[in-house]
Amino acid sequence: MIKYLLKIFLFFTCSCFFSQKTDSIKIRKIYDYNLTSGNCYKNLRSLCKDVGHRLSGSNSAQKAVEWANLIMNKTDLDTVYLQQITVPHWVRGATESVIWEDEKGKAHQLNCSALGGSVGTNGTIKGNVIEINNWNQLESFGEKNITGKIVFFNRPMNPTYISTGMAYGNCVDQRHNGASRAVEYGALAVLVRSMTLKFDKNPHTGSMSYLDSNKRIPAAAISTVDAHNLSQALKNNNVKSLSLQLSCKQLPDTVSYNVIGEIKGSEFPSEIILVGGHLDSWDIGEGAHDDGAGVVQSLQVLETFKRMNISPKRTLRCVMYMNEENGNRGGIHYANNVKKKGEKHLFALESDRGGFTPRGFSIDGTKLQLDYLKTFKKLFEPYQLHLFSKGYSGVDIGPLKNGELCLVGLVPDSQRYFDFHHSKEDVFENVHKRELELGAAAITSIVYLTDKYGLPSSRKLKK
């Protein structure tokens, strides 16, 4: 305990000696550069409009790899390379239709989107609908009530959570596991209320999975407006039947790549500071917030160092991961490779919560690292970043966790993220230039400080 307190004391003492003034001037310059001359918004436009959506295994995902490789080379990084991986290849197909018929025979078409990984319907699946609002209900209805029916999971995201990410995290299990749980009771197919707090007609897709031991049944999301209407009709006993047609299918795995670029460190080149986001996106919309924003912000960090002639002490590495959305193969492969090569990562930051106004950082590291990063908090106050707290970092960098490396997630304001997330509304036009740039400046600034001062780990702090 005494040793630990001494360590804390030493790091805090060190932090007092940080030349706060020099650092605040430098951070001001980083912000100025990003808000006047940075390229992340232009790069996002190009990614969204020249490449478009980019689901793993698709031609456009390959185009995105080429785009990222080209753009990193244009940024004059010291090294740019592709890391080969294999990814799942799921295709949506042309047909997506959910129609329910009321007691008078009138057909009601719903706005739907197959969930990623779902099997198709192989023609039409027609049946009665049963609404489920929690797992206990599924269990208590049991086989007797569920067999031969279409299960409709209608649990909404909890609006009382201030963090919409938390509301999503507490609700997404029905999307991910709904089909594998419902099939145990003999369901024919599954419909899921879209994961958003917005009440509109857009369906939001996303990943789902099957258990190997289970039969596979189709699964689709329907919009919140449609979920509400269907639920009302069920309450009024006005749903005669529902028909589902999906032509999606899983193809064999295919080759793809993580795209990696770096600036070599001048003093401690073997110590790596990683910034990243994921290059793949769902196949509706343009993946602008998820995660085009994180990709272009990460690249902007290295570009800012280059253009401002800041020579990092440690190696700065930007990783554009492939396949976060439906497998995280890029993140897992990258981490395995780090282990195999014995590379030392000091700090890894992911931006994957949309290109909105940054609020701070969630830090997944030791208490010592958390306390240490909190000493930077004052420098961020003029930019209205207040959150420096323990929390989740990101899916792509998650597999790097080893008890020593400090993982960090950029936390933007979360209120509008799920309005767009995984829907056709996730397009370039819905990203705000200034908010995106503020995020890039925030990441660059924390990377700048971490590079300059290092981070406590079990090894000694090199300054």
The binding site for Zn ion (CB under 5 A) comprises 290-291, 352
Give the gyration radius of the chain's Cα atoms: 24
Q: Quick one: tokens of 224?
A: 């919140």
Nearest to 84 by CA among 256, 200, 207: 256
Residue 180's identity, in one-letter code, is: S
> Closest distance between Zn ion and the C-beta of residue 291, in Å?
4
> Closest distance between Zn ion and the C-beta of residue 419, in Å?
15
Pair 241, 98: CB distance under 8 Å = no
Nearest CB to Zn ion, comparing residues 289 and 359: 289
Please tell me the distance from the alpha carbon of residue 144 to that of residue 146, in angstroms, as a whole number.
Answer: 6
> Closest distance between Zn ion and the C-beta of residue 55, in Å?
12
Nearest CB to Zn ion, comparing residues 125 and 299: 299
Nearest CB to Zn ion, comparing residues 290 and 437: 290
DSSP string of 191-236, one letter each residue: EEE-S-SS-SS-----B----TTSPP--EEEE-HHHHHHHHHHHHT
Question: In a 10 Å sphere around its CB, with 0-12 CB exposed, 13-18 middle and 19+ buried, how is residue 262 labelled?
Answer: buried
Nearest CB to Zn ion, comparing residues 288 and 368: 288
State yes or no: cis peptide before 291, omega within 30 of 0: yes
Q: Quick one: tokens of 454?
A: 């290092």
Nearest CB to Zn ion, comparing residues 178 and 294: 294
The two beta strands, 358-364 and 406-412, are antiparallel
> Closest distance between Zn ion and the C-beta of residue 125, in Å?
30
Nearest CB to Zn ion, comparing residues 226 and 291: 291
Nearest to 445 by CA among 14, 33, 17: 33
From the CB of residue 454, how many other CB atoms can be counted at a distance below 10 Å? 22
> Closest distance between Zn ion and the C-beta of residue 3, in Å?
40
Pair 245, 261: CB distance under 8 Å = no
> Closest distance between Zn ion and the C-beta of residue 352, in Å?
4
Nearest CB to Zn ion, comparing residues 283 and 291: 291
Please tell me the distance from the alpha carbon of residue 327 to that of residue 395, in angstroms, as a whole number.
Answer: 10
Q: Quick one: tokens of 245?
A: 């047609």
Nearest CB to Zn ion, comparing residues 354 and 365: 354
> Closest distance between Zn ion and the C-beta of residue 400, in Å?
17
Q: Quick one: tokens of 254?
A: 């295919």
> Closest distance between Zn ion and the C-beta of residue 277, in Å?
8
Please tell me the distance from the alpha carbon of residue 242 to that of residue 97, in angstroms, as a whole number.
Answer: 10
Nearest CB to Zn ion, comparing residues 226 and 352: 352
Nearest to 55 by CA among 196, 191, 207: 207
Nearest to 167 by CA among 192, 128, 194, 129: 194
Please tell me the distance from the alpha carbon of residue 228 to that of residue 112, in angstroms, as a whole number.
Answer: 14
> Closest distance between Zn ion and the C-beta of residue 278, in Å?
6
Please tell me the distance from the alpha carbon of residue 320 to that of residue 68, in angstroms, as a whole number.
Answer: 8
Nearest CB to Zn ion, comparing residues 35 and 172: 172
Q: Quick one: tokens of 387?
A: 């959150």
Residue 195's identity, in one-letter code, is: M
Question: In a 10 Å sphere around its CB, with 0-12 CB exposed, 13-18 middle and 19+ buried, how is residue 442 labelled?
Answer: buried
